[in-house]
Amino acid sequence: MKRIALFCTVMVIAAISHDLKSQNLTIGAGSGINFSDIHRVGTTGYWKPKPGPSAGLFVRWNMTPLLGLQTGLDYSTVYYEYHPYLLEEGPIIYPFYEPQLLPYPDFIMLPQIESTNHSFLTMPLELTLTIPSRPSLTLGAGMFYSIIMDQDRGDLYFTDDLSGNDHGYLFTVSVDYPVNERLSLFAGVRFVTGRKLMCEGRDYKHGYSDLMAGLSFGLGGDGAGVTEEGKGENPVNENISLTWFAGANLSWNSGNVNRDKYSVYAGPSAGFLADFRLGGSRTRFSTGLILERAGYSMRDSSNSYYLYDQPSAEVNTRISSDYVVIPALLDFHFGRDECLSISTGPWFAARLNSQCRGTAINTVSTSTSYRLREITVNDDITEVTRRNDFGWMTGAEVSLPVRGMTRINLGVQFRQGIPEILNLDNAGIDESEKDVYVRNSVLTLRAGVTVPVYKTGR
């Protein structure tokens, strides 16, 4: 509660420090779909992301043309589905019994399914930053408080009473396209992570991501919409541009322990970058947010599904982590119309979750029997990986003008991580000054579009 009180105090101080003439309100309503993402789970089973409905209202107080304070009321129903693997001792006469199969296996894996559902009434409070492009981009970060309106406890795995409310953090990205001076269409994505345990007997916390779309309407001020380029009311800011992009990456483990045994992993990459021209030069400072899935693959014998260790089962798994990458790059432009560019600089990444998926085959043979067991691996290994990563990034890009300051881009980018990404304590590995078991290396090919940013007039 102290953190929430401090956050609210900072928002109020920021609000009253600006001229009241710059204030206006934006109200909106939307609906969409959420995908469950329960937090702090282990390797005893697989929590399947399930879709559920989301809807809500919001009010954004635009303290300045760029900064705002947003709150609202949201309703979401989140469905969790658990696929555990239970150990059963002794012989299991299924699907048949044959005496020649003796000795019996000491355990067998039996898949089960259990669901638990929760309906939330959520009240968020966010600080927002709006980039006045067309479409405009709004970023938000803040806290929330949720009241659980209804829940199905799933008694098989939740023996204690479930919590009746939740609180935590949320992060949003929204794109607004103006229909006229007041009315806009918006679409956004939100990541919600709860901080309260779902119940005392289980180390689980609520979490989900949702996609929403709807309508917003501006009140007060000079209007919420961005006028057409050339009308003179909102001239283009030639020193700032916004680039949206998407692509695919190849990532691999560049640690120094058994490096040659690991294979590459292919994943998606998408995000945006804001470029700020430095003076009158062709050099720009570039930063933004990149959502990226990176990891590595294993295809060899190991007694661990996510790290090569003593030979045991034949492992064929893919280990991946979802990251929010924040770069800080110097972008050097060359050629006619600045069509070529080279960028380099540091980056920081926040890990959202980590998964290990695939199969493992274990064989046991004696003079009188032979047993082969195939295990489907769907492990959440988030707690085995570190929350953050950082390193150095470099890239090259070709940019072609289309209309005005709108451009189409095609580029390649490589980022190299520096630290160990495994949490060695949670993985049960002794710390070493020389050994790095897993380190991220990511090569990304992407395409995008650059749109102009408009001046705010103040």
- Domain boundaries, position 49: 1-83+112-226
The amino acid occupying position 67 is L
Q: What is the pLDDT of residue 86?
A: 54
Question: What confidence category does residue 157 fall into, taking pLDDT thresholds of 50, 70 and 90?
Answer: low
Domain termination site, one of 182, 201, 226: 226
Q: What is the pLDDT of residue 41?
A: 61
Q: What does DSSP assign to residue 32?
A: E
Neighbouring-strand partners of residue 446: 247, 411
Question: What confidence category does residue 201 fall into, taking pLDDT thresholds of 50, 70 and 90?
Answer: low
Q: What is the pLDDT of residue 112?
A: 62
Q: What is the pLDDT of residue 111?
A: 47
217 and 360 housed in the same domain: no
220 and 243 housed in the same domain: no
98 in a structural domain: no
The per-residue pLDDT for range 249-287, each reduced to its tens digit, is 999 999 988 888 899 999 999 999 999 999 888 899 999
Domain termination site, one of 226, 255, 275: 226
Q: What is the pLDDT of residue 299?
A: 87
89 in a structural domain: no
For residue 220, what are its two tokens? Answer: 């007060």
The per-residue pLDDT for range 158-179, each reduced to its tens digit, is 545 667 788 999 999 999 998 9
Distance of CA 123 to the CA centre of its chain: 21
Domain termination site, one of 181, 210, 226: 226
Q: What is the pLDDT of residue 160?
A: 56
Residue 250 CB: number of other CB atoms within 10 A?
Answer: 15
The per-residue pLDDT for range 356-370, each reduced to its tens digit, is 888 888 887 777 778
362 in a structural domain: yes
Average pLDDT for the chain: 81
Q: What is the pLDDT of residue 363?
A: 81
CATH number of the domain encompassing residue 158: 2.40.160.20
35 in a structural domain: yes
Percent of the chain with pLDDT over 90: 44
Question: What confidence category does residue 452 fall into, taking pLDDT thresholds of 50, 70 and 90?
Answer: confident
* Residue scoring higher pLDDT (224 or 42): 42
Half-sphere exposure of 355 (CA within 13 A, CB side): 19
User: What sign does the dihedral 453-28-322-409 (CA atoms) show?
Assistant: negative
Rounded Cα gap, residues 376 and 197, in angstroms? 28
The answer to whether residues 187 and 28 touch, using CB atoms and an 8 Å cutoff, is no
Residues 383-401, mean pLDDT to the nearest whole number: 93
pLDDT of 402 > 70? The answer is yes
204 and 335 housed in the same domain: no
177 and 60 housed in the same domain: yes
Q: What is the pLDDT of residue 435?
A: 86
410 in a structural domain: yes
pLDDT of 211 > 80? The answer is yes
Q: What is the pLDDT of residue 107?
A: 42
Question: What confidence category does residue 198 fall into, taking pLDDT thresholds of 50, 70 and 90?
Answer: confident
pLDDT of 221 > 70? The answer is no
Rounded Cα gap, residues 160 and 359, in angstroms? 33
Distance of CA 153 to the CA centre of its chain: 27
92 in a structural domain: no
177 and 325 housed in the same domain: no
* Residue scoring higher pLDDT (390 or 355): 390
The per-residue pLDDT for range 290-314, each reduced to its tens digit, is 999 999 999 888 878 888 877 778 8
147 and 251 housed in the same domain: no
- Phi/psi region, residue 3 (left: phi>0; alpha: psi -120 to 50; beta: rest), is alpha
Residue 167, classed as helix, strand or coil, is strand
The answer to whether residues 389 and 351 touch, using CB atoms and an 8 Å cutoff, is yes
Rounded Cα gap, residues 426 and 419, in angstroms? 16
The per-residue pLDDT for range 48-93, each reduced to its tens digit, is 788 999 999 999 998 888 889 999 999 999 998 877 665 544 444 4
Rounded Cα gap, residues 112 and 337, in angstroms? 60
263 in a structural domain: yes
163 and 263 housed in the same domain: no
Percent of the chain with pLDDT over 70: 80
Rounded Cα gap, residues 126 and 128, in angstroms? 6
The answer to whether residues 437 and 248 touch, using CB atoms and an 8 Å cutoff, is no
| Exposed/middle/buried for residue 84 (C-beta within 10 Å: 0-12, 13-18, 19+) | middle
pLDDT of 129 > 70? The answer is yes
pLDDT of 393 > 50? The answer is yes
* Residue scoring higher pLDDT (276 or 40): 276
274 and 195 housed in the same domain: no
208 and 350 housed in the same domain: no
Q: Work out how many domains the chain is built from and give that number.
A: 2
259 and 399 housed in the same domain: yes
103 in a structural domain: no
pLDDT of 244 > 70? The answer is yes
pLDDT of 12 > 60? The answer is no
Q: What is the pLDDT of residue 413?
A: 96
Q: What does DSSP assign to residue 424?
A: H
285 and 312 housed in the same domain: yes
Residues 416-434, mean pLDDT to the nearest whole number: 85
pLDDT of 38 > 70? The answer is yes
187 and 170 housed in the same domain: yes
